[in-house]
Amino acid sequence: MALVDPGELARRAINQSGTLRRIVKSGQVQHLIQTERAARALQPVGRFLAGQQRRDGVGAYTLRATGTRVHLRHGTRDVHIFNEIFGSAAAAYEPPAEAELRLRGPIRVADVGANVGLFGVYAAGRWDVQTLHSFEPDPSNLELLAATVASHPLGDRWTVSPVAVSNCVGSMPFVAGRFSESRRATSEEDSIDVPMVDFFDAVGSVDLLKIDIEGGEWRILDDPRFAALDAAVVVMEWHTVGSSHADPHAAARAALTDAGLVQQHETPAPHGSNGVIWAWR
């Protein structure tokens, strides 16, 4: 008789009980789950757990697997994003085997929407990264990103541009201070102005392109110039917000296909309003 994974048994029980689902999805339980997952990958674990209990302040931690330093704001979305990238229970940023083959040898990486630099740390620890260029306009995110870059072994081969990325040059009204969910502001929202660069001029030729800009991707995807993108591999989070398409999911896939990235693998979010797509040539 085949043994059933205990985690799978727990998931089945939760899915079959509305009461259990509400408990597990509550803020307090999610905080505990995210804390426990991140604690498996970080050290010193005691200091991390204490920070998470207080839910305030910034902590500098090293990855158990590589010894690389990261900076996280306790009790915030930083910990969730850390688990999306490094946590064993989430595989959104685990590349498909075929995409991995395209990333052999020295590669150039662009991280559009770098947040606090977690994807950059992940990429540099996984592949032979020749250059890494991060783009991030949020001032509070930039402070942690700069601290992570300053202590990273890539040194001056990891550059940071403190700008928003769109399909033209200028400035962008920006809702800042929302951690990984900072984004372009609507006309009704309080915002700051941040400098904005044209994606098609600023990013240049890269082997791996990551995009996660909370709906800002649509001005790039819908630009006719996107069809000439020459990146070998793209990992992108698409969002329904900011899209004028009836089916944003299908539109994101079509834009990647039109750019020659016809092989695709995705990890949709449970609520269907966003998802991560890996696409490659």
pLDDT digits (tens, 9 = 90+) for 83-124: 999 976 446 789 999 999 999 989 999 999 999 999 999 999
Same domain, 247 and 178: yes
pLDDT band at 34 (very low <50, low <70, confident <90, very high): very high
User: What is the per-residue pLDDT for 208?
Assistant: 98
Euclidean distance between CA atoms 75 and 58, whole angstroms: 10
Euclidean distance between CA atoms 213 and 268, whole angstroms: 17
Contact by Cβ (8 Å): 251, 277: no
**Domain contains 5:** no
Phi, psi of 137 (to 5 degrees): -95, -20
Q: Which residues contact 2 (CB under 8 A, 6 or more apart)?
A: none
The amino acid sitting at 40 is R
Same domain, 149 and 259: yes
Q: Which domain, by its residues, includes 46? A: 18-90
Question: What's the total number of domains in the chain?
Answer: 2
User: What is the per-residue pLDDT for 72?
Assistant: 98
- End position of a domain, from candidates 41, 68, 90: 90
Contact by Cβ (8 Å): 228, 204: no
**Domain contains 4:** no
**Domain contains 148:** yes
Smallest CA-to-CA distance from 262 within 278, 238, 279 is with 279
Euclidean distance between CA atoms 91 and 253, whole angstroms: 19
Rounded to the nearest 10 degrees, the angle between the axes of helix 27-39 and helix 18-25 is 60
**Domain contains 250:** yes
- End position of a domain, from candidates 53, 69, 90: 90
**Domain contains 193:** yes
Same domain, 123 and 212: yes
**Domain contains 149:** yes
Same domain, 27 and 166: no
Same domain, 185 and 231: yes
Q: pLDDT tens digit string along 139-195?
A: 999 999 999 999 999 999 999 999 999 999 999 999 999 999 999 999 999 999 999
Largest CA distance in the chain: 64
Same domain, 113 and 67: no
Smallest CA-to-CA distance from 88 within 152, 21, 157, 42 is with 42
Same domain, 81 and 126: no
Same domain, 208 and 136: yes
User: What is the per-residue pLDDT for 28?
Assistant: 86
**Domain contains 256:** yes
Question: Which residues partner with 280 through β-bridges?
Answer: 233, 263
Euclidean distance between CA atoms 19 and 16, whole angstroms: 9
**Domain contains 7:** no
Helix (H, G, I), strand (E, B) or coil at 262: coil
Q: pLDDT tens digit string along 231-280?
A: 999 999 999 999 999 999 999 999 999 999 999 999 766 668 999 999 99
Helix (H, G, I), strand (E, B) or coil at 185: coil
Q: Quick one: which H or E segment has residue 68?
A: none
- End position of a domain, from candidates 39, 55, 90: 90
User: What is the per-residue pLDDT for 37?
Assistant: 93
Overall average pLDDT of the 37-42 stretch: 95
Euclidean distance between CA atoms 117 and 42, whole angstroms: 15
Question: Which residues partner with 211 through β-bridges?
Answer: 112, 236
Same domain, 181 and 207: yes
Q: pLDDT tens digit string along 183-208?
A: 999 999 999 999 999 999 999 999 99
What's 194's domain CATH number? 3.40.50.150
Same domain, 124 and 151: yes
Same domain, 139 and 252: yes
Phi, psi of 38 (to 5 degrees): -65, -35
- Residue 205 in tokens: 């030729």
Smallest CA-to-CA distance from 74 within 93, 60, 92 is with 60
Same domain, 114 and 216: yes
User: What is the per-residue pLDDT for 267?
Assistant: 76
